Amino acid sequence: MAKALREPKDTSAQAIARLREAGLRPTRQRVELAGVLFQSGDRHVTAESLHDEVAQTGVKVSLATVYNTLHQFTEAGLLRQVIVDASRSYFDTNTGDHQHFFVEKEGLLIDIPGESIAVAGVPAPPAGLSVDRVDVVVRVRRN
């Protein structure tokens, strides 16, 4: 049996463990969504793209549940939101320190490792404000 091909049962088991650790009840829908999101490497999804992708695996999950789940996963620290577009939300399975290239026309996000990039000279915020995070978006386009 090839090691590269994970068994569905493996993926489910991992997803269930991950959900339990996060304090989320492992429902059929959450297990399926977690499977799709976390079985491969780092991913960037929108609610709609994830909904479509899950639909293609044959499992039926409502769009409302996809939204609920993305928000719950984000609150639980399994995902983070990435803001690059004024009209839709992206969610990122990479919750570590990193930044993004964004290909606007394609809605495509590409990670930039946190170690490789640095922002210098950020002034102290005005009195009464403190820095939450610093986001860098490198907007790129096809040649």
Under the rule (CB under 7 A), what is the footprint of DNA?
24-30, 46-48, 60-65, 67-69, 71, 86-89
Q: Checking DSSP bridges between strand 98-103 and strand 90-92, what pairing results, if any?
A: unpaired
59 C-beta neighbours (distance < 10 Å), count: 14
Q: Is 109 helix (H, G, I), strand (E, B) or coil?
A: strand
Q: Nearer to DNA by C-beta: 82 or 94? A: 82
**Scanning residues 85 to 104, which ones bind a second copy (CB under 8 A)?**
85-89, 101, 103-104
> CB–CB of 12/30 below 8 Å?
no
Q: Site map for a second copy, 57-86, x if CB under 8 A?
A: ------------------------x-xxxx
| Sole binder of Mn ion in the list 11, 16, 22, 85 (CB under 5 A) | 85
The alpha carbon torsion through 98, 104, 107, 112 (nearest 10 deg) reads: -20
Residues in the chain: 143
Residue type, 108: L
142 binds a second copy (CB under 8 A): yes
Query: Of the two residues 28 and 139, which places its CB atom closer to DNA in the complex?
Result: 28
Beta carbon of residue 113, minimum distance to a second copy (angstroms, whole number): 8
H or E element in which residue 110 lies: strand 108-113
Among residues 20, 28, 60, 139, the one that binds a second copy under rule CB under 8 A: 139
Q: List the structure tokens of 50.
A: 């994830």
Which of Zn ion, a second copy, DNA, none lies near 83, with the C-beta cut-off 5 to 8 A by kind?
a second copy
22 or 71: whose CB is closer to Mn ion?
A: 71
